[in-house]
Amino acid sequence: MSSANPSGRTGLDGLGLAGIIAAVLVLIAAVALSLVPQPAQAASLVRVTNFGTNPTGLNMYVYAPDRLAERPALLVMVHYCTGSAGAVHNGGGRDYVSAADRNGYVIIYPEATRDGHCFDVSTQNALRRNGGSDSTGIMSMVSYARQRYNVDPERIVVSGISSGAMMTNVLAAQYPDVFSAGAAFAGVPAGCFATTDGSMWNSQCSGGNLLKTPQQWGDQARAMYPGYTGRYPRMQLWHGTADTTLAYPNFGEALDQWTNLHGVSRTPTFTDQPQSNWTRTRYGTGTPAVVEGISAQGTGHDVPTAGMVARAITFLGLDRPPTTTTTTTTTTTTTTPPPSQGCTVKAAVNAWNTGLTETITITNTSSAPVNGWTLQFTLPGGQTITGGWSATYSPTTGQVTAKNVDYNAQIQPSAQVSIGFQATHTGNSAPADGFTLNGARCAVA
């Protein structure tokens, strides 16, 4: 009988010397790899639910970078028709994400869920403040993010592409007291897409055939927030000359609207060419400009193209690095009640189906400043607060106490503070009543 191993295997269970050496090398490599520090889990796009009043069933997504500024800016990034939060996050808005990683700001992405995934910028409800359409849900997202991330209220901005650009103009017109700037890529003036037949497409506007004077466009935007007399957001408008989806004349009409809202001449104060096929015009005397338009020669509806978002980041003020200090200080404020009848409150409600928003304007009619305040009021039966802005609210039903946030703690004599909330109701959509400011009864306007 041969002395050879009939199995043909040699050594340790037949591995052979070469196999043993290879196994040892693999083991050494695995141990070495385990000793190398692994990168932390990167920030990702996160869906948020139950963020507040959402009458049209929008989805909300948030991107908060790993290195968040102490008082971050907030960008509302609105997608195009057929788009989604993920599509714009990973596609046309990707440069915004990279800048957020560098500069520590937060991005929220509204996502339309209706057929076609277009945003409502056409219906009556869509074209008034707190009207109960898409813009109402988006503002609930803004309120959520402001409280969740300690957002700097002076650095809330909005940008969008196509349908999102149209919504950018609408949001800036309806909530000029919230947004500081906007950047719209291939949109139309606020209100241009209005319809009366239930349709969400306006062919006259899309074709560039709805032409108005600057005053008419300005008045149409002002009608979305009647009675407002404050400043409007700075606006940057981008449009390609070869756009056949939302025709190029809409670019000039939007410039008419925003120069009128800012009360500046339609004649540019500055013109240059940042790239060979771009013509940039600026309006007004401020730096940065209150209105800026960039016309892209030969470009169609497929924007933004290379370099555009980088310019928008600068215009929107999102290019500031995050603050590096981690020191926190405690500030003590003295609560000063106004004298009896030293305050007036005006409450305005916009209601729909089972939801509503209420804006409360507090006026200090006394001769002394109010430094730190609480406003107490009573909600009608069946109303429950689901979200709010410019104050904290507790509890959410019955007698509610609204407390100032850090940026509006002081109300000078004759000055006003505006706060508000979203709520559900079971049929009674009347405004709150029984207002007291720091314990003093307020007159109701």
CB distance 347 to 359 below 8 Å: yes
Helix (H) or strand (E) holding 316: helix 308-316
DSSP-derived secondary structure for 22-75:
HHHHHHHHHHHHHHSPPPPPPP--EEE---S--TT--EEEEE--SS--SS--EE
Is 162 among the residues known to form the active site? Answer: yes
Q: Which two tokens stand for residue 404?
A: 């100032």
Residue linked to tokens 């800048």: 99
CB distance 170 to 225 below 8 Å: no
* Residue-wise burial string across 376-408, b where 16 or more C-beta atoms lie within 10 A, e elsewhere: bbebbeebebbbbbbbebeebeeebebebbeee
Cβ neighbours of 165 (radius 10 Å): 30
Cβ neighbours of 424 (radius 10 Å): 16
Q: What are phi and psi of 312, to 5 degrees?
A: -65, -35
Q: For residue 183, give every residue at least 6 positions away whose Cβ sits within 8 Å of its Cβ, in sequence order, or none.
A: 157, 158, 159, 168, 235, 236, 238, 312, 315, 316
Selecting among 162, 180, 206, 295, the annotated active-site residue is 162
Considering only CA atoms, which of 222, 171, 169, 176 is closest in space to residue 192? Answer: 169
Q: What are phi and psi of 105, to 5 degrees?
A: -100, 165
Q: Which two tokens stand for residue 293?
A: 């338009």
119 conformational bin, left if phi > 0, alpha if psi -120 to 50, beta if neither: beta
Burial grade of 35 (CB within 10 A; 0-12, 13-18, 19 or more): exposed
Residue linked to tokens 């929107």: 316
Considering only CA atoms, which of 330, 329, 335, 343 is closest in space to residue 404? Answer: 335
Active site residues: 162
